[in-house]
Amino acid sequence: MRASPVGAAVELGRRLGLPVGEPVVLSDLANTVVHLAPTPVVARVAAFTALARPHPERALGREVALSRWLAARGAAVLPPTTVVDAGPHDADGWSVSLWPHLPLPADGSGVAGAAPELVGTALAALHDAAAGYPAHELPGLAETVTDSGRCLEVGGDWLPADVLAALAQGHEEAAATAAAVDAGTGRRALHGDAHPGNLLLLGGAAIWCDLEEAVTGPVEWDLAVMRRSRRHDGEAAVRAWSAASGVRPDADLLDSLQRVRDWQALAWTVLYASVRPALREQVGPDAAEWAARR
């Protein structure tokens, strides 16, 4: 019988020689994130993401490579662990990468959720640091749109047929936008999921994490992700990014990619709700509202 994500993480840690005692689950959403206590290592297990990605190890591998490259150049990112091989590893069929354990405050103050100026400025600094990363090492937007479309195929059957059909049409539109963007110029390494929940505050410093969605594309993609977040004032964050970078984003492109991001975020929540029925009371009305606005 296949081990659970937590069990697989523990087995991997022990296989690598870590004295793992009682694991502590830090998150169990897109990925299962496990502190291999008492060691200073955290395992990131592709759980939900593996439902939508045929090769989740590729995304984890790109995250490890990009984070390591950025950290080596002094960028404010969480680097992979150096205690053992960061991976990605195969653990009983689960793809796992390994990261340092950070002593974040239990009250959630370690996440930059309410400081849009900080988030925008930090994103501008990340873009500057990532400017030299080889673009061919990362996929374009088409891959992340394809993954999101699979969320609907795998987990959308609990939705009303008309709502699911509208979301499927949204996939076609998002794919067309992504293909056009990927064929254009100005592609560069991006965080890919640059919302404030992925920006940690440690001793007053802002540190980006969770670069698993890293892609190449125009900066407007990261800005669309940042602007959409309900954790802060997204418009203020975009203004802060612009002030820090000295660049004015393309408003039409930003709005176009915002529509793609809105659809993408909904597609992933549909997948989560497919295996967590308690979420359906929130996600179902959100999906119906989105479909009605089209």
Which run of H or of E encompasses 91?
A: strand 89-91
Answer yes or no: are the C-beta atoms of 97 and 58 closer than 8 Å.
Answer: no
- Residues β-bridged to residue 215: 190
The dihedrals phi and psi of 205, each to the nearest 5 degrees, come to -100, 145
Phi, psi of 277, rounded to the nearest 5 degrees: -55, -25
- Token duo for residue 290: 């989105």
Q: Using CA atoms, how far apart are residues 56 and 286, in angstroms rounded to an integer?
A: 27
Considering the four listed CATH numbers 3.90.1200.10, 1.10.10.10, 3.40.50.620, 3.40.50.800, the one that applies to the domain covering 116-293 is 3.90.1200.10
The rounded distance, in Å, linking the Cα atoms of 193 and 167 is 21
3-state secondary structure of 169: helix
239-248 burial string, b = 16+ CB within 10 Å, else e? ebbeebbeee
The amino acid present at 286, given as its one-letter code, is: D
For residues 195 and 227, is the Cβ–Cβ distance under 8 A?
no
* pLDDT score at 111: 65
Both structure tokens of 57: 């190890």
List helix spans (H) across 26-109: 48-52, 56-72
Domain 5-100 part of CATH 3.40.50.300: no
Peptide bond between residue 116 and the one before it cis (omega within 30 degrees of 0): no
Model pLDDT, residue 208: 96
Nearest to 78 by CA among 142, 30, 33, 135: 33
pLDDT at 126: 97
Q: Which residues of the chain are modeled with pLDDT < 50?
A: none
pTM above 0.75, yes or no: yes
User: Cα angle at 68 between 191 and 206, to 5 degrees?
Assistant: 55
What's the CA gap between 81 and 83, in Å, rounded?
6
pLDDT at residue number 204: 76
d(CA 291, CA 166): 6
Q: What residue ranges do the domains of the chain occupy?
A: 5-100, 116-293
The residue behind tokens 């069990």 is: 7
pLDDT at 107: 59
